[in-house]
Copies of this chain bind each other. A is one copy, B any other.
Amino acid sequence: MEQGREGDIVLYTYWRSSAAYRVRIGLNLKGLAWEPRQVHLVRDGGEQRHASYRALNPQQLVPTLLHGGQVLTQSVAILEYLDEAFPDRPLLPGDAAGRARVRALAQLVACDIHPINNLRVMQYLEHTLQVPADERTRWTLHWMAEGLAAMETMLAGSGGTGTFCHGDGPGLADACLLPQLYNAHRFGLDLSAYPTLQRIEAACLALPAFDAARPESQADAA
């Protein structure tokens, strides 16, 4: 697979991938130019499983980011890298306590909600455990509701919360929250119990950086 010129940023992405959506938000928030390369997660048995992609990303997951000859994986690690390589318009606050808070909110989504509901897990439930469709949907909604309820409590109860998850500028936690809320809408989760999350979602989607990163805004959207 061609790896792009030195200095260019290439993102292997799929329109509906939550993890790729996070990185699209981060790239746009930082005002960086980037070239998308589509990896279709369902077609042809999943292009993420093809040898050419597997050579870049042995986990066979999106996203993968190329920059300066490096191959970067794991969406949150990529966002942290972008924040270090391009310090302008920071995604993380400057103080250790604030950074810990933002990382904890990001990881609440990236570790404890999203992976449990990810495509490969849903496929295992369906094909290996033969869990019926309605119970699979209940599974998805269960982990989303549990995680988002904790996030609502953490955000509503903290003076650190502003217009966005941390203060009045968007950052890493928002880049993780918004794709998760996209999934919540997609599966019909009732969000009325999470007024703070809904307020932050509206603030984010009013920004061009978030709007351009939305699944429906991608060239490969179905």
Contact = CB atoms under 8 A, between A and B. Distances in A.
A78 interface: yes
Nearest to A147: B59
Contacts of A218: none
Interface stretch (A8-16, A97-105, A208-216): A97-105
Contact of A129 (B58, B81, B129, B154): B129
A121 B116 contact: yes
A20 to B, nearest CB: 14
Q: State the number of copies, please.
A: 2
Nearest to A92: B80
Contacts of A97: 68, 70, 81
Nearest to A81: B100
Nearest to A155: B58
Interface string A124-161: 10001101000100110010000101100110000000
Contacts of A116: 115-116, 121
A129 B128 CA distance: 13
A188 to B, nearest CB: 19
A163 interface: no
B76 A107 contact: yes
Nearest to A69: B97
A121 B97 CA distance: 30
A114 to B, nearest CB: 8
Nearest to A151: B58
Given A81-B100, A111-B110, A115-B115, A150 B74 contact: no
